[in-house]
Structure 1
Amino acid sequence: MPNSKKKVVVIGAGVAGLASAIRLQHAGYEVELYEKEALPGGKMHRIDMNGYQFDLGPSIVMMPELYREVFELTGRDPDDYIPMQKVDPMYSTYFGAKAQEKYDISSDLIELMKTLENISEEDSKGFLKYLQEIYERYLVAKNHFLQRPFRNFTDFYNPKTIRQMFKLKTFDSADHFIGKYVKNERIKQILSFQTLYIGVSPYNGPSLYTIIPMIEMLYGVWFIKGGMYTMASSMERLFKELGGKVYYNASVDEVLIKEQKAYGIRVNGKEILADYVMCNADFPYAMKNLVKDTKAKGKYTDKKIDSMKYSCSCFVMYLGMDRKYEELDNVHNFFIADELEKNLNDIFDGNKLEQPSFYVYVGSKLDPSLAPEGKDGLYILVPVSELSSSKYEWTDETVQYYRNKVMQSLKNVKGFENIEEEIVAETYMTPRDFESKFNAYNGACFGLQPTLTQSNHMRPQSKAKNCENLYFTGSSTHPGAGVPIVLLSAKIATEELLLDDGIKEKNEAGLPELVTN
């Protein structure tokens, strides 16, 4: 515990901001959290519309132990805050423009093997080889990369870490790696589209990210009662129970820096002084707009920020429907285009999509309280280009273009023949909305792309390189995007702060542990 209460200000009540605030408040700091919106959660926000409630962004719960850890570390029972249930089958996948092929994907290995064998016995054998290979690499990533910072050159460039890095075999794309074991195109796509969860294409994203379907298949997919927003509101509740203070509608203008040392923030023109600043604003946005001291920016100049590669964005439709859709078996549904590779190449080349793939989430299927009685709400997400690479503008016509494409596909699914006539309320989020509402740089929903040159030690780190007392957390920082990984980012960032404050020191493995003397 700090000798006398030191003050930390946290910028942004996104997932990582809330988790960092909880960890620091629990560690004995006086923590104040400043959020520009009126609700907690950042992109884990909620949309309320005519009695329908929608998760705004994230919707799939993986690695539930990381969600639970935030509550457990403070001595709370997570079930009192985020009651969960396992989802099985995890999701349905529909293939083709007319969604004529459908497969239910289970995390029960017996059921999963039956599904795969019905597609191809030979490739089912290859699937098991893929599973063994990627599980070995997952253990290396988990134990040597995902949970540790790379503050200094030697944290990465040392014999032990380099040896582990070669075990990751990162110089391959996800699609090519899976293709070594599986030839059937349908099974390959079932095992690779999940790289879009972190905004990268399986056709050029590093093969390591095929750990995502592996985690689903070995550990399952879960649902939090009340939807994902329950996680955000419960973290806020816990933070307040611990004595933390939250200020909403409080837009941060600047990180106050003098002689390369942060000493607070400016909020709506008012200076708030602090011993440490934890920034959960998107790293590229923060470096360009909040860190105004040139020396404190270091290599992250405006030119550098603009030259970096960004993840894809999303167009999301939130539809209140006038009936239940019993014909849809699952809460999570993926509609995969005939020409998936062209579809994904067009996203990252900035082209308007001729036949988009998309995802349909029906939270009210598992929690009827999310919609009026006897009705469902449909959340439909289309991965699209981020703003800097997009060759088209987001206008009302663009919204209608993508809306029509989705409707044309869905009308082929049993029960959805009259979908357009059954909509009673609707709203949207476009890349422009993600940029303006959440300061997502270029509207990139998942922050910086996790390319080889933007991962691990080459990704922005928690501890600012050129400024003392300033720390970063969130999807554009190490270890990356996705709710479980962002929760790890919060853990790393708070441990880096505790390390600098003398509360923790590095052990023989190079990881922080509490000072015992």
Structure 2
Amino acid sequence: MTKEKVAIIGAGPGGLAAGMRLSSAGYEVDIYEKNAYIGGRTSLLELGDYRFDIGPSAITMPHALTSLFMDCNRDLQDYVTLVPLAPLYQLFFRNNKTFSPYHDQDQTIEELKKHFPDNEENYLQYMEESAKKSLYLAPLMNYSLSSLLDYVRPAMLRALPSLSLGRNLNDETSRFFTDPDLRLAFSFQVRNMGMSPYTTPGIYSIIPFSEFYYGLYHPVGGHNQILKAMAEVLQENGGRIHLNTEVDHFTFQKNRIQNFTLKNGETISADHYVINTDFAYTITELMQEKKSLRTKSLTKKEFSSSTFMMYIGLDKSYPTAHQSVIFPKNAKKYSDELLSKKILSDDFAVYIINPSTTDTTMAPIGHSAIRLMVPVPNNQSHIDWEKEKPSFEKKVLELVKTFLKMDDLEEHIVEKKIITPKEWEEDFHLYQGAVHGMTRSIRQTGIQNPVYRLNKKFPNLYVVGTNAHPGTTLPYIIESANFVAEQIHKKEPKT
């Protein structure tokens, strides 16, 4: 039988993982990437002698990666070296408290005794109940949750008590911790998904739990090494990656994708089409022919926050943790201003990533490649970043200098690059600069997720990545690729 053709748009982790799976299963796979490099938000940024991950700072659940490579008859360790982070991060609160949790429970308990005494048993109860929740939720990864049938399956009925229905993540965490700082320490992780602990469904407590349970890891050389490994496996299986090849638009024939046209005028046809681009960008730009689809899919949808990113090469080494977080004075008020009011707050959080403490390949010896990330409103805020950037940059640096004891920080800056929501939208094709696409809420998951409606409308079109099932972080993006590969395989003609 002739190999079925799969065309994948976007060489991000979701597209590459799907390409690995499908090429290993014998499909003819081509990936079309608009940039001159793979990875998108997970790619490498080089400024002089300094190397930065554009997006992710660490990975959890490494078994998801290991499983992907094993299923493609490869050993992840032949391609990538993962270094565990200890501590996971150093957390700074505005009341001068600090907390540095670990993957190792005994070390975390010692930290609790030092900074939050009498919470040791609460922590152990949190870990035990969250572990049970994860076990009940794991089987749901195999269902799209786009059909009412999925909601009455035995696995769903068994998981119902673990869904934390009616509770947000802060509510869920409050069941175990009364101290507001400690509640923040066990819920802030969803901020890396562009969401708020005060509005995110309680089911997402599995995200912070996974970091404590599985640990966090840094790939030596940066996250781009994972993407590079994925690309190597794809190509070893006969798959092809076409760089500098931007898609212009899809052409439809009734309820199927007929083909898509590249910016250079070339037309590409395949049996199956997989999109790893930002979902809203796909609807608004690549599917302009379907204006009604745009209206139905995006009207009244809520999108994640964006980020103000600073990549700084320093000719000095600072003794910081691999990851540090400075929390705002009022986390609830900051969340409201960030996601609801969409205003640029004077009281904000800063994430400091200094991989040079773990990985000597990121900067010259004795130097640092530091990344500062501040969650800020997406471009629905209409903030003029050309105007606000200089003063906001100064505020960020002052906060970091104060809490991380980097008084001479600015004196040692050799290289610097800033990415604002404006660049996220214009250069990375992220709708409204929302770095994580649509937010995960009850109204935008399961049957309500427009991704599923798109697949039902066009059966030969599939979505992987942040907004697909189950999406969000790298392990779940890999799961979305596994899910799509299985769906395509099920539709393969039987001989």
Please give the range of the TM-score, normalised by the shorter of the 2 chains.
over 0.9
- Say which SS state the counterpart of residue 17 (structure 1) adopts: helix
* 1:382 counterpart residue number: 374
Paired with 2:21 and 2:108, the residues of 1 have a C-alpha distance of 38
| Cα 1:450–1:10 shift into 2, 3 Å | same
User: 1:431-477: CA deviations, max 9, x gaps?
Assistant: 12111222211111111100011123332446711113111111112
Which stretch shifts more, 36-45 or 403-412?
403-412
C-alpha contact (below 8 Å) 2:342/2:377 kept by paired residues: yes
- Give the counterpart of 2:356 among 342, 364, 388: 364
Equivalent residue, structure 2, for 1:406: 396
Aligned partner of 1:279 in structure 2 is 275
Select which of 443, 447, 455 maps to 1:457.
Answer: 447
Alignment match of 2:312 (pick from 319, 323, 345) = 319
| Deviations 1:227-282, CA, capped at 9 Å, x for gaps | 11111111112211111111111111112221211132211122111111111111
Among 189, 192, 203, the alignment partner of 1:194 is 189
8 Å Cα contact 2:146-2:446 kept in structure 1:
no
Q: How far is the alpha carbon of 1:391 from its aligned partner?
A: 4.8
1:277-297, Cα deviation, whole Å (9 max, x unpaired): 111111121122222453xx8
Q: Helix, strand or coil for the counterpart of 1:411?
A: helix
Distance verdict in 2 for CA 1:112–1:272, change over 3 Å:
same
- The code of the aligned residue for 2:118 comes to E
% identical aligned pairs: 27
Partner of residue 50, structure 2:
52
Q: How does 1:126-165 map to 2 (within 5 A)?
A: 126-144=122-140, 146-157=141-152, 161-162=156-157, 164-165=159-160
| 1:87 alignment partner in structure 2 | 85
Cα distance change, pair 381–82 in 1 and its aligned pair in 2 (3 A): same
* More helix as a share of residues: 2
Structure 2 CA distance for aligned equivalents of residues 323 and 49 of structure 1 = 16
Looking at structure 1, the residues matched to 419 and 443 of structure 2 have their Cα atoms a distance apart, in angstroms, of 30
- Cα offset for 1:14? 0.9
From 320, 342, 356, the counterpart of 1:350: 342
**How many residue pairs get matched?**
492
Q: Secondary structure at the match of 1:122?
A: coil
Q: Work out the CA distance in 1 between the residues paired with 2:8 and 2:283.
A: 15
Alignment partner, residue 429 of structure 1: 419
Q: What amino acid is the match of 1:478? A: H
Q: Residue deviations 1:30-75, cap 9 Å, x none?
A: 1111011111111101111111010000111100011222221121
C-alpha distance in 2 between matches for 1:75 and 1:444: 36
* Aligned counterpart for 2:460 among listed residues 457, 463, 469: 469
Distance in 1 separating the partners of 2:364 and 2:148: 55
Deviations 1:77-103 (A, max 9, x none): 11111111211111111111xx83322
1:69 is aligned to 67
2:371 is the alignment partner of 1:373: no
- Where do 5+ consecutive residues of structure 2 fail to align? none
Q: Kindly report which structure 2 residues correspond to 1:303-314, keeping only aligned pairs within 5 A, or say none.
A: 304-314=297-307
Which residue type is aligned with residue 160 of structure 2? M
For 1:302, the equivalent position in structure 2 comes to 295
Rounded Cα–Cα distance in structure 1 between residues aligned with 2:158 and 2:463: 28
Structure 2 counterpart SS, 1:140: helix
For 2:369 and 2:20, locate their aligned partners in 1 and report how far apart those are by CA, in whole Å.
32
CA deviations on 1:398-417 (whole Å, 9 max, x unpaired) are 22222111111122245400
Equivalent residues of 1:9, 1:264 under 8 A apart: no
Is the Cα–Cα contact under 8 Å of residues 19 and 234 in structure 2 kept in the other structure? yes
Q: Give the distance between the partners of 2:169 and 2:271, measured in 1 at CA.
A: 43
Q: In 1, Cα distance between the equivalents of 2:468 and 2:25?
A: 22
Matched, 1:231 2:226: yes
Counterpart Cα distance in 1 of 2:212 and 2:185:
11
2:204 to 209, 217, 234: 209
Separation of aligned partners in 2, 1:202 and 1:115:
23
**What secondary structure, in the 3-state scheme, does the structure 1 residue paired with 2:51 have?**
strand
Residue 495 (structure 2) pairs with residue 500 (structure 1):
no
Which deviates more from structure 2 when the two are superposed, residues 148-157 or residues 7-16?
148-157
Aligned letter for 1:76?
R
Cα distance between partner residues in 2 of 1:502 and 1:124: 56
Q: How does 1:335-346 map to 2 (within 5 A)?
A: 335-346=326-337
With over 3 angstroms needed to count, the CA separation of the structure-2 counterparts of 1:122 and 1:391, relative to structure 1, is farther
Tell me if 1:255 matches 2:250: yes
Q: Deviations over 1:338-391 (max 9, x none)?
A: 212112211112011112101111122221121123211110100111112x15
Determine which of 480, 488, 491 is the counterpart of 1:489: 480
- CA distance in 1: counterparts of 2:379 and 2:258, whole angstroms: 33
Q: Tell me how far apart the structure 1 counterparts of residues 310 and 345 of structure 2 sit (CA, whole Å).
A: 16
How far, CA to CA, are the matches of 1:68 and 1:262 in structure 2?
Answer: 33
Mean Cα deviation higher: 186-195 or 456-465: 456-465
Structure 2 CA distance for partners of 1:353 and 1:55, relative to 1, 3 Å: same
CA change 1:28–1:263 in 2 (3 A) is farther
Among 284, 291, 304, which residue is 1:288 paired with? 284
Counterparts of 1:223 and 1:160, CA distance in 2? 34
The whole-number CA distance in structure 1 between the counterparts of 2:24 and 2:154 is 36
SS of corresponding position for 1:475: coil
Q: Once superposed, what is the RMSD of the aligned Cα atoms?
A: 1.9
* 1:179 corresponds to which of 174, 186, 195: 174
Structure 2 letter corresponding to 1:394: W
State the alpha-carbon separation in 1 of the partners of residues 153 and 230 from structure 2: 37
Offset, 1:500 = 1.5
- Give me the whole-angstrom Cα distance separating, in 2, the residues matched to 1:237 and 1:415: 42
Q: Could you tell me whether the CA contact under 8 Å between 1:14 and 1:44 is conserved in 2?
A: yes
* Aligned mates of 2:404, 2:29 — CA distance in 1: 52
Residue 218 (1) aligns with residue 188 (2): no
